[in-house]
Amino acid sequence: MLTGSSHFLVVGLGNIPYPGTRHSIGHLVVDGLASRLGISLTPDSVVKGFRATKHNVPIGEENVTITLYKPKALMNVSGPPVSTALKNLAIQPSNMIVVHDSLEQKPMKLSPKFGGSANGHNGVRSIIAALGGMKDFHRIRIGVGRSDADVADFVMERLPSTERTFWQHGEGVGAVWSALLKIMAMPH
């Protein structure tokens, strides 16, 4: 059962200098969520990134607070600012949902996950390391698919416009929102 003071941190992983790439799809999704919630992400030097908070979001019969966050740090070193954001906002890692690209899911598909390994994702690996090895947080893996190209080159390519629209303004942001609602409705 949720309490009226439940606060969730939704982290979109990406690389600020490389917007619109597969690797920055977490940023794109968080931008889409901000638009859906009617809030604007603004720079925050304390948490070294961009954030926006929405209070009194109805989840079932309860109201929660949701903070959207995009670290400024590059993907592979995003853990320390994410850890700082959790501490600054007094949010437990179990109330954190990390949105990131996934080679294992097909494009325009998502897969929620709780805990477990980083599955080779350097951003998630950095967060686990910054949390002292603690893996008990939610992830929403956003499918970017695979190609025969080098993995590093592939994830740094621009996202096709159909996928970009899907995740920022289309059905994809709705699917992410539905996944978030299920996660936030769980006992924490």
Half-sphere exposure of 29 (CA within 13 A, CB side): 35
CA-derived radius of gyration, the chain: 15
Which residues in 43-68 are b (16+ Cβ under 10 Å) and which e? eeeebbbbbbebeebebeebebbbbb
Name the strand (E) or helix (H) holding 88: helix 79-89
CB atoms near residue 139 (< 10 Å): 27
Q: What are the angstrom distances between the C-alpha of 73 and each of 2, 28, 49, 174?
A: 32, 16, 8, 27
Q: Which one of 23, 27, 100, 138 is the catalytic residue? A: 23
Taking Cα atoms as reference points, which of 51, 172, 85, 124 lies closest to residue 113? 124
Is 23 one of the annotated active-site residues of the chain? yes
Do 14 and 23 touch, CB atoms closer than 8 A?
Answer: yes
Active site residues: 23
